[in-house]
A and B are shown apart, each in its own frame.
Chain A
Amino acid sequence: MTAPADLSVASREQHGDEAAQALFDDVIARDSRIEPRDWMPEGYRKTLIRQISQHAHSEIIGMQPESNWITRAPSLKRKAILMAKVQDEAGHGLYLYSAAQTLGISREEMMQQLIEGRARYSSIFNYPTPTWADMGAIGWLVDGAAICNQVPLCRCSYGPYGRAMVRICKEESFHQRQGFEILLELMQGTEAQREMAQDAVNRWYWPSLMMFGPPDDESPNSAQSMAWNIKRFSNDELRQRFVGMLVPQAEVLGVTLPDPNLAWNEEAGRYDMSEIDWDEFHEVLAGRGPANAERVRRRREAHEEGAWVREAATAYAAKQAARAAEASGAVA
């Protein structure tokens, strides 16, 4: 075929946008990967910027509910694990901001969107963490749901995102295990500890199911994302898969999933479950969740209070560069 051999900008200039679009479509059809320097439709780029930056923000905001317990973790082992986990999340945020930057948006711009309340992040992090058992429930349910969502993203058509997700998913798997282990320890502990664990599962179960997004017939962006091989499975498919994973684990833990209608439907080959409270979902999404304002405020304060440090680092780097230039000029 005489069509352009690749999606590079030079190739596009030579063969025109239509040929580039055809090649892009071919890459998608072959389930291959788009890379940062390739031509891509504007909609694809925008969708990815939105999704990857939201994902990065979720990692960064998601540090807060857990950092709430770092100083109070009830054993040194738990303190170390929790600190490592929250630190992983900062690292995930960094890879993801870098992946988004390859699409032509700066980290500063994304951070500004976040602290001005213009960017979204996963609504799950707008729920508070009043007890230690929340560390277990977040690991088990929230990170568990994140894994179900994110594992297929390892195959996302956009290379930098897919590669970042491979690394992130490996760490998320450890996060989920440690959450399960926290709950297991609590369920094998005192009456007060068992109550604490069940209470946390009660509070986090439904919000974790909401993490998969609205039902398929109300998910406006899903079809295009699936056509572009960004998204691989529908919201409802992933939600079903997640529940299927939880049921046997809940039995091992001895916790009750707070849905009296949850049952395997042999005929339909799926779990029956109660209707999710989508009003709550939309309320939290609209910024009226229990901790929305608090989460954004903390991020803004950290950013603003750290401004003098970042300015110092920039000024110092500039002075060093000027000194180096002067020195090399003197040598020449």
Chain B
Amino acid sequence: MSSDLDPHVDVHGDVSVDRLALAEEFTGSQAGGAGATAPADAAEYALRLGDDALVLAQQLGMWITRAPELEEDVALGNIGLDLIGHARSLLHYAGTATGRSEDDLAYWRDEPEWRNAWLFEQPNGDFAHTIARQLVASVYLFELYGALTASTDPTLAAIAAKAVKEVDYHRDHATQWVLRLAGGTDESRRRMSVAVADTWPYIDELFVDDELVERLADAGVAVLPSTLRPRFDTVIDEVLAEAELEPPTGRTAFIASGGGRRGIHTEHLGPILAEMQVLARAHRGASW
């Protein structure tokens, strides 16, 4: 009987210890840019993008086992996984400028050194808040990565080319849920409206130009955030119109001042980083 078992073990469950190769997406994070060293400005820019992706991924990871249905455990996990992939590529590239690894940047920087925009550190809230944040984030990232595929920096262009396809799916996922929640029950519609109102103050920061992006845009490396705004507004307006939700723009008294790109953050980032970094920091110099 055991001879009968063997071939099946070999076919489906080979656990021999000399074969530890992991899927490519887990081992390397160097989309198209293996070996390239980032110039200082491009590194700072990659850090902004990488931090956006990582902080959002970290938050989506909190949903796993807590999602409203199993399909959403899978979907939110999948989106988080894509974002970690983007973050790893971007942080790896950012780190090449200063000889730091993706993990040095993820685990050993304190809050003022983080460059993510405030949107990404806003809490998960209920499912409607997570979806509102996902809608804004993925529509923004889709426009951004789409434009960056033409970057003169080949590493950024390669990362963007891979990421844009993935955030296109994220955009679709968020849009479908906005429509369902807005057009579902009275309760879901109420929650979706609240979530949109709560999320909207964090949009403006995404489209602020500063000296760094102006220099990089002149060189064709980066795209000026302000130039992405019209297309972003068009797409978002279409979604809200179909969902029959009122765009809160112009009505909300509060617009977040932002400052994430300069290391100024809301109260939410500290606890997110504390949780993410706690184990790594308890074992300085260890590898995992």
> What band does the interface of chain A fall in when counting residues whose beta carbon is under 8 Å from B?
35 or more
> Which residues, 36 to 77 on B, are CB-close (under 8 Å) to A?
54, 58, 61-62, 64-74, 77
**A80-B81, A87-B78, A169-B13 known; A71-B58 Cβ under 8 A:** yes
B253 at the interface (CB under 8 A from A): no
B191 at the interface (CB under 8 A from A): yes
A90 in contact with B185 (CB, 8 Å): no
Set of chain B residues within 8 Å of A79, measured between Cβ atoms: 61, 84
**Cα of A84 to Cα of B232 in the assembled complex, Å:** 30
Chain B positions 252 through 273: 1 when the CB is less than 8 Å from some CB of chain A, otherwise 0: 0000000000000000000000
Set of chain B residues within 8 Å of A315, measured between Cβ atoms: 183-185, 188
Stretch at the interface among A20-28, A216-224, A273-281, A306-314: A306-314
B280 in contact with A311 (CB, 8 Å): no
Closest chain B residue, CB of each to CB of A244: B2
Set of chain B residues within 8 Å of A169, measured between Cβ atoms: 12-13
Set of chain B residues within 8 Å of A64, measured between Cβ atoms: 65
**A94-B70, A312-B180 known; A189-B287 Cβ under 8 A:** yes
B133 at the interface (CB under 8 A from A): no
B181 at the interface (CB under 8 A from A): yes
A154 at the interface (CB under 8 A from B): yes
B278 in contact with A72 (CB, 8 Å): yes
B188 in contact with A81 (CB, 8 Å): no
Set of chain A residues within 8 Å of B285, measured between Cβ atoms: 190
Closest chain A residue, CB of each to CB of B7: A151
**A71-B61, A83-B61, A185-B288 known; A313-B15 Cβ under 8 A:** no
A233 in contact with B5 (CB, 8 Å): yes
Number of B residues near A (Cβ < 8 Å) is 67
**Cα of A310 to Cα of B14 in the assembled complex, Å:** 39
Closest chain A residue, CB of each to CB of B87: A76
A311 in contact with B185 (CB, 8 Å): yes
Closest chain B residue, CB of each to CB of A78: B288
A316 in contact with B279 (CB, 8 Å): no
Closest chain B residue, CB of each to CB of A172: B13
**Cα of A241 to Cα of B64 in the assembled complex, Å:** 33
Set of chain B residues within 8 Å of A150, measured between Cβ atoms: 13
The 6 closest A-B pairs by CB, nearest first: A306-B68, A312-B184, A312-B188, A309-B68, A87-B77, A169-B12
Which residues of A are interface residues toward B (Cβ below 8 A)?
60, 63-64, 67, 70-81, 83-84, 86-87, 90-91, 93-94, 97, 132, 144, 147-148, 150-152, 154-155, 166, 169-170, 172-174, 176-178, 180-182, 184-186, 189-190, 192-193, 232-233, 237, 241, 245, 248-249, 252, 298-299, 301-302, 305-316, 319
Given A80-B84, A302-B66, A315-B185, 13 new contacts (CB under 8 A): A76-B88, A77-B29, A80-B88, A83-B61, A93-B70, A94-B70, A155-B8, A169-B13, A173-B12, A176-B13, A249-B17, A310-B68, A316-B180
